[in-house]
Amino acid sequence: MPNLYQSKELRCVIIATSSGLRQLLSGVLKELGYSQVISVADIKSCVEIIESEVVGWIMGPMVDAQGQSLLSLLDLINQQPPLRSLKVSILRDDNDKLVPQAFAMGALSCHRFVQTRDGCYEELSFLVQQLHIYSGDFTRVAANYLRRFLIDAQEFGELRKLCEGMAQAYPADDAVQIELAESWLMTGDEERANTLLHQLQITAPSRFEQIRAISEKYFGSPRLPGDAHTLLAAKFSLESCLVVEPRADALEKLRVHLSRIGFRDLACFRDPLAAMKWLRSHPKPNLIISQWKLPWLPGPVFLYKIRQRLGSEIPLIVLHTSIEERETPMLTELGASRLVQEPFTEKVLFDDIIWTLKQEGQPTEASIVRQKLINASKRRDLPEVKRLLALYMQLPTLIDTDLLLMDAIIAYDAGCFLHAKKHALEAMQKGGDSRACMEILGKSLMALREFEAAIRCLENVSFIAPLNVAHICSLAECQLEQGNDLGFDELIGKAKEIDNDSELVREAEVKGAIKRGQSEAARKLMSRLKSFKEVLSFMNNRAVTLMRVGNFEEGLDLYLKTLESLPEGQNELKAVVLYNLGLGYVRAQRLREAMSILQEAEETRNLERQQRIRSLRRRVAQAIKSGDPLILKSDPDATEMDEQVKLAQIRAIELAVSRSQEITRSDYCLIKIYVTDYRQDETLQVLIRRLNFSPRGALVKDYHKGLVISSAS
């Protein structure tokens, strides 16, 4: 849906008690090019309009003549995702004490002017100019209006909150950083402000005169206290850096720049293979800088191998002359912290290095915090997950779909696959990152053994991120489950070309070898695995599924093939497979064979497992003696309704992908950027009086998924 910046054809609604003011504002807006202007006397009438028509802009007072607050209207908009593009401007009067709360809830601007044509035109044309200056970034525009309000009101503590939030959302913007430094100075935090201003003197030389003026105002001298390089080197730990650049002159230029910036230990290579060899015998560097296009080893493959060896914690800067759009997802997969386009200056390089190292120590970028959170979740590092999750939830750049996606990732890592599927699909339906949503959705569907739908997701992910070995192996496993051995072999070959030493590739090869009865090959491959858990889980799940649909012979045969494939000396693993084989014989009502197998399995040293085996053996012996069948508890067979749900789910995935529209951070203005408890009690009292909202007519069709309708009691 277009927004206020993109189209002047959108409806504008003016709320004002005075008919004269309504007429004045309508005339000015039409002069500015807004052709569809509606004026009403109160907020309730405005809501009745947005229930049935698409509106792009609302202007109104903080409180109307009926005592209804504009905060309630903002609250309503925030509860209805399809209204996200609707922008609200405040017409200030003497009753403006809750204006900061209005901005915290997503207001775009606030205006107080003399009620003349010239005064109105000047004020509103300034807003239009701001939208063009910032290319429709509503967050920047809203921040400028709130900043002016807080300075006029001398609310410097609130100003600092705003500036700190904006600095998290725009960490590389010079103007935002200067505003942050000045807000620190206004509240007495001179040390932090001084360090930041020193940094900006290097990274933003065009701001030199502005910084001199600030220094003169707050430090009494145009020269900032202290030495810039000493302060910054200590703050950002500029110690060791690995550099890979095949061009000799460019490599020497980088070495000079990095030495001047303050790095003490530089490992510079033209050959990526030599860099890999160096990594085997040296400590991890603090930073990696690599050219995207490399000789002898493609840049993406080199960076993938670097990540496999060092993990994703080392910050990575990628240099490039140009990167094709289709290559961009690869950089996300490879965990690139920053892209630096050539040619670049020392200032640009320093700026990007400082930003990257700052994000490593104190991350404010959502993608970086998310990756750290995913890594901690995979390690089952619960304290770190808790810490990072709290940090992630507070990031001002987050929107609803980011939170849904993170819920899906955490649910998947916790083994809650139904919840992971639900959250991932919902995030995609609401316009979230399609690649990330389909990744977790595909893995969840696979864990739930819904392979047809999983293949649809994973094929999309593999197309977007062709270097993701985990996706390729997952897709290969789905093809194996579907009986497509040729597809399995092609995908495994593709994965081995990228990383022949990957544990994931070996596991997938073992699964394929066991399924095909290639016991000797499977045994050799398994002996090279660090863990057998994934392979045995796959085989057991497949065998149980086969027997659940009545294919007992194939299921039992799979257990026997798994036994033949186990390396020598794996007695406990053998006991696990024997126990599952015994359960399989029981399900097939081959009780005497089950008895024999369970007797062999009972040799396990695991006391808990031994107890389960003995309990089952007693039940089997009793059934043999009585001649009655032994029925084990099992999941109910799929019903026709279950099949309908699966088909609906596949259609929902396709529909979500086709209708996915990205909701940007800018659409939220200052929500979660400016967080305040300013006059919180008064705000809560105002919000008790909620607005009714019941969309109707053709509008409901436009709002397909995501509309939340909640009426006030």
pLDDT tens digit sequence for 142-171: 999 999 999 999 999 999 999 999 988 887
584 has a pLDDT exceeding 80 = yes
Res. 707 pLDDT band, cuts 50 70 90: very low
Q: What's residue 658's pLDDT? A: 44
140 has a pLDDT exceeding 90 = yes
pLDDT in tens, 289-299: 988 888 887 77
Average pLDDT for 214-229: 85
713 has a pLDDT exceeding 50 = no
Average pLDDT for 564-578: 81
Contacting residues for 182 by C-beta, under 8 A, at least 6 apart: 163, 193, 214
Which one has a higher pLDDT value, 251 or 713? 251
pLDDT in tens, 432-471: 777 778 778 888 887 777 777 777 777 766 555 566 677 6
Q: What's residue 302's pLDDT? A: 82
Biggest CA pair distance of the chain: 101
387 has a pLDDT exceeding 80 = no
243 has a pLDDT exceeding 80 = yes
Q: What percent of the chain has pLDDT over 90?
A: 16
627 has a pLDDT exceeding 80 = yes
Which one has a higher pLDDT value, 231 or 506? 506
Give every strand in the sheet of 55-61, ordered side by side.
Answer: 37-40, 11-15, 55-61, 87-91, 109-111
pTM of the shown model: 0.55
- The span from the CA of 294 to the CA of 272, in Å, is 7
Give the Cα-Cα-Cα angle 148, 7, 49 (nearest 5 degrees): 85
Which one has a higher pLDDT value, 410 or 228? 410
pLDDT in tens, 192-209: 898 888 878 776 777 889
Average pLDDT for 611-638: 78
Contacting residues for 96 by C-beta, under 8 A, at least 6 apart: 62, 90, 110, 112
Res. 706 pLDDT band, cuts 50 70 90: very low
DSSP letter string over 596-659? HHHHHHTT-S-HHHHHHHHHHHHHHHHHHHHT---PPP-PPPPPHHHHHHHHHHHHHHHHHHHH
CA distances from 506 to 82, 495, 500, 514, 522 (A): 46, 10, 8, 12, 10
pLDDT in tens, 599-618: 888 888 888 888 888 888 88
Res. 237 pLDDT band, cuts 50 70 90: low
362 has a pLDDT exceeding 70 = no
Which one has a higher pLDDT value, 455 or 231? 455
pLDDT in tens, 482-515: 778 888 888 888 877 777 777 778 888 888 888 8
Q: What's residue 664's pLDDT? A: 72
DSSP strands (E only) in 182-270: 240-244, 265-269
pLDDT in tens, 456-467: 777 766 555 566
Name the DSSP letter for residue 665: G
Res. 704 pLDDT band, cuts 50 70 90: very low
Q: What's residue 38's pLDDT? A: 92
Which one has a higher pLDDT value, 330 or 470? 470
Average pLDDT for 41-50: 90
- The span from the CA of 203 to the CA of 345, in Å, is 10
Phi and psi angles of residue 323, each rounded to the nearest 5 degrees, phi first = -125, 125
Q: What is the CATH number of domain 1-155+667-713?
A: 3.40.50.2300
pLDDT in tens, 24-40: 999 999 999 888 999 99
Q: What's residue 214's pLDDT? A: 92
Res. 129 pLDDT band, cuts 50 70 90: very high
292 conformational bin, left if phi > 0, alpha if psi -120 to 50, beta if neither: alpha
Res. 659 pLDDT band, cuts 50 70 90: very low
Pick from 710, 704, 713, 703: nearest CA to 52: 703
Distance of CA 8 to the CA centre of its chain: 33
Where are the domains positioned within the chain? 1-155+667-713, 237-363
Name the DSSP letter for residue 317: E
- Indicate the range of 494-508, 519-533, 698-712 predicted with least confidence: 698-712
Q: What's residue 59's pLDDT? A: 94
Q: What's residue 88's pLDDT? A: 94
CB 4 within 8 A of CB 56: yes
- Cβ count near 652 (within 10 Å): 15
Res. 645 pLDDT band, cuts 50 70 90: low
Pick from 113, 112, 117, 88: nearest CA to 20: 117
Q: What's residue 379's pLDDT? A: 62
Average pLDDT for 324-332: 62
Q: What percent of the chain has pLDDT over 70?
A: 82
Res. 176 pLDDT band, cuts 50 70 90: very high
Q: What is the CATH number of domain 237-363?
A: 3.40.50.2300
2 has a pLDDT exceeding 70 = no
Check if 1-155+667-713 and 237-363 are the same fold. yes
Give the CA-trace dihedral at 695, 697, 698, 704, to 10 degrees: 40
CB 292 within 8 A of CB 318: yes
